[in-house]
Structure 1
Amino acid sequence: MNLQGSTTTALAIEDESQVGHARRVSQAMATQLGFSEVDAGRVAIVATELATNLLKHAQHGALHLRAIPAQTGSGIELIAVDRGPGFDAARCIADGFSTGGTPGTGLGALTRQSQVLDIYSDSRGSVVLAQLFPRNVSACPLRFGVSQHSLKDDPACGDVWHLAVNGSQICALVIDGIGHGEDAERAGLAGAAAFAVAPFSDPTSSMQDMHQAMNGTRGGAVAIALYDAASSNLRFSGIGNIGACLITAEKSRGLASHPGIVGSQFRKAQVFDYPVEESQLLIMYSDGLQSRWNLRDYPGLVHRHPSIISTLLHRDFCRGRDDVTVMVIALETVRD
């Protein structure tokens, strides 16, 4: 399975008119992904509930949309994100509970319409995730999340990501083309295309192939993580300032990169091996995200869906002056 990266569509929810817009955009995306009229209607219901709840309880926020892989075909991911005041997710998910004077069926309705639902909320705000698939389609067993946004919603994004899965192996790629805009995107796409030809090659070989493919472009920072569940080992190679770490509930371990620009000049890529413990997360991110964050500042977040984690990190630590990508993979979902 080869998963080509795509950016996140972010819809501002600041007044009632934007609720209808969010519903229409979400339903249209579902139809484009092959959802039936009935299933696309489910997506419309979920988008409406999420957007309406943002206005009622946080006054404003955003709805993030992304196509996601399924075992066959595609699904759609909707994430409502805001900056407060937060709520008790365990109480609010039950029908009949309301903090806004309504009948209290919103979050309960989400559980009936969505195949995957997860929530994280504290005083800093809330992130509510809903994933929907056509009724005859199952979710992809690999749990991962990606939050990718171009600077100022530019149609071109200099960050590029790619995932490949083969049995017990998964290989993840993040590229940050130098700068932003079309030239940066051209550099990133050239590297990703070279990587996709043989994603499970030795990372040093993949890095060299990308170096050649990106020659003549701006070049960029590149990181490759190759994980084998059969050996519980992760091989990592990075050139430039793509951040990466392995995280459990108790600790975090950074993954080493070397300076340079792929497509321009760097010393031979070096591969580092890291043992992977049970229930470990792999997080990779471009330098559009600040590097000084700690998941332990968010009690219980490490146990939430990776899409919740990537979206929250983007919400709280986006620098706001470059394209940004945050990829989170639950490694225990890769089976041998």
Structure 2
Amino acid sequence: MNISGSTTTALLVEDESQVGHARRVAQALAQQLDFADGDAGRVALVTTELATNLLKHAGHGVLHLRATPGQTGLGIELIAVDRGPGFDPSECIADGYSTGGTQGTGLGALIRQSQVFDIHSDNRGSVVLAQLYPRHVSPAPLLFGVSQHSLNDDPSCGDVWHLAFDGSRISALVIDGIGHGEDAERAGLAGAAVFATAPFIEPATSLVEMHQAMNGTRGGAAAVSLYDTSVGKLRFAGVGNIGGALINAEKSRGLASHPGIVGSQFRKAVAFDYPVDGRQLLIMYSDGLQSRWDLRDYPGLVHRHPAIIAALLHRDFCRGRDDVTVMVIALEEIGD
């Protein structure tokens, strides 16, 4: 599977009218993805419930929306993000529990209508994930999440990501074109187009090929991660300030990049090997995200769905002065 990157649509929810707007935007995406009427109705229901909960329990928040790949088609991912008082998910999932004076069937309904559902909540806020697919489409076997936002909601985003996986290999790319806007996006797309043609080649070689393709553009920072489940090893090559880390419940290890600008100047690309023992998370991010974060500050977060982790890191560590991309991948055996 070869997945071209896309930005996240962020829908602000601060009053009741924006609940309806969020529902209409999500329904329009469902129609664009050829959801049947019944499946589009599930999207409308889940969107309305998530947006309503943001108002009831947090006062306001943001609903993240994007298309997400399944095994034989596309689904819709919805993530409700807030900075409210938090709640105990184990209590709130049960039908009949309510903190807002309602019947308390909200989270139970969300679980029943969604093929993928997950929550993280603490006193800093909550992140609630729902992925919905047409009835004939199953979720992709690879667990990953991406949160990508352009500066000031510009239609062009200088950050670009790409992800590919086959039976045993995962290959991930993040590019940050210099600056932001159309010229930065053009640089990133030039590199990603080359990467997509051969995503499983040696990462250092891939960077050299991207360097040639991005020549004549602004250039940018780029990093490639190649993981093979059969050998339990991650190979990483980076040029510029794309951050990378391997993380499990006990520790975090940074991934080394070299200085330079892909498409302009760097001496050479060098790849490094990192052992992967058991389930670990690969996190790659552009410099629109602060680097001083630690998942251990959020008890239990490392065990949540990667899309939850990506959205939370964006919520708490986005610099707010550049495009930003956070990609989180669970490195484990890929299902059938």
Same fold (TM over 0.5): yes
Q: CA offsets per residue over residues 143-196 of structure 1, 9 Å max, x none?
A: 000000000000000000000112100100000000000000000000000111
Equivalent pair of 2:168/2:333 in contact (CA under 8 Å): no
Please tell me whether residue 158 in structure 1 is matched to residue 153 in structure 2: no
Deviation, 1:63, is: 0.4
TM-score of the superposed pair, with normalisation by structure 2: 0.99
Distance across 2 between alignment mates of 1:109 and 1:169: 36
Q: CA offsets per residue over residues 260-279 of structure 1, 9 Å max, x none?
A: 00000001100100110111
Alignment of 1:1-336 (within 5 A): 1-334=1-334
Deviation, 1:211, is: 0.3
Q: What one-letter code is carried by the residue in structure 2 that aligns with 1:73?
A: G
Distance across 1 between alignment mates of 2:204 and 2:54: 46
TM-score of the superposed pair, with normalisation by structure 1: 0.99
Equivalent pair of 2:244/2:284 in contact (CA under 8 Å): yes
* Secondary structure, counterpart of 2:332 in structure 1: helix
Q: What one-letter code is carried by the residue in structure 2 that aligns with 1:75?
A: G
Q: What's the RMSD between the two structures over aligned residues? A: 0.8
Distance verdict in 2 for CA 1:53–1:335, change over 3 Å: closer
Distance across 1 between alignment mates of 2:99 and 2:273: 49
* Secondary structure, counterpart of 2:75 in structure 1: strand
Distance across 1 between alignment mates of 2:12 and 2:322: 19
Equivalent pair of 1:143/1:333 in contact (CA under 8 Å): no
Equivalent pair of 2:229/2:333 in contact (CA under 8 Å): no
Distance across 2 between alignment mates of 1:238 and 1:335: 28
* Secondary structure, counterpart of 1:281 in structure 2: strand
Q: What one-letter code is carried by the residue in structure 2 that aligns with 1:81?
A: V
Deviation, 1:62, is: 0.5
Distance across 1 between alignment mates of 2:276 and 2:143: 16
Q: What one-letter code is carried by the residue in structure 1 that aligns with 2:220?
A: G
Deviation, 1:30, is: 1.1
Distance across 2 between alignment mates of 1:54 and 1:333: 35
Equivalent pair of 2:49/2:106 in contact (CA under 8 Å): yes
How high is the sequence identity, in percent, across the aligned residues?
79
Deviation, 1:204, is: 1.5
* Secondary structure, counterpart of 2:126 in structure 1: strand
Deviation, 1:335, is: 5.5
Structure 2 portions without partners, runs of 5+ = none
Q: CA offsets per residue over residues 284-316 of structure 1, 9 Å max, x none?
A: 000000000000000000000000000000000
Equivalent pair of 1:283/1:326 in contact (CA under 8 Å): yes
Distance across 1 between alignment mates of 2:184 and 2:107: 40
Deviation, 1:35, is: 0.8
Deviation, 1:234, is: 0.6
Distance across 1 between alignment mates of 2:203 and 2:225: 8
Give the number of equivalent residue pairs: 336
Distance across 1 between alignment mates of 2:64 and 2:335: 29
Equivalent pair of 1:227/1:234 in contact (CA under 8 Å): yes
Q: What one-letter code is carried by the residue in structure 2 that aligns with 1:108?
A: G
* Secondary structure, counterpart of 1:101 in structure 2: coil
Deviation, 1:334, is: 2.8
Q: What one-letter code is carried by the residue in structure 1 that aligns with 2:156?
A: A
Equivalent pair of 1:141/1:333 in contact (CA under 8 Å): no
Q: What one-letter code is carried by the residue in structure 2 that aligns with 1:226?
A: L
Distance verdict in 2 for CA 1:333–1:313, change over 3 Å: farther
Deviation, 1:226, is: 0.3
* Secondary structure, counterpart of 1:130 in structure 2: strand
Distance across 2 between alignment mates of 1:38 and 1:220: 44
Equivalent pair of 2:141/2:335 in contact (CA under 8 Å): no
Structure 1 portions without partners, runs of 5+ = none
Distance across 1 between alignment mates of 2:335 and 2:68: 20
Q: What one-letter code is carried by the residue in structure 2 that aligns with 1:51?
A: A
Distance across 2 between alignment mates of 1:34 and 1:144: 23
* Secondary structure, counterpart of 2:246 in structure 1: strand
Q: What one-letter code is carried by the residue in structure 2 that aligns with 1:101?
A: G
Q: CA offsets per residue over residues 90-124 of structure 1, 9 Å max, x none?
A: 11111100000011011111011101110000000
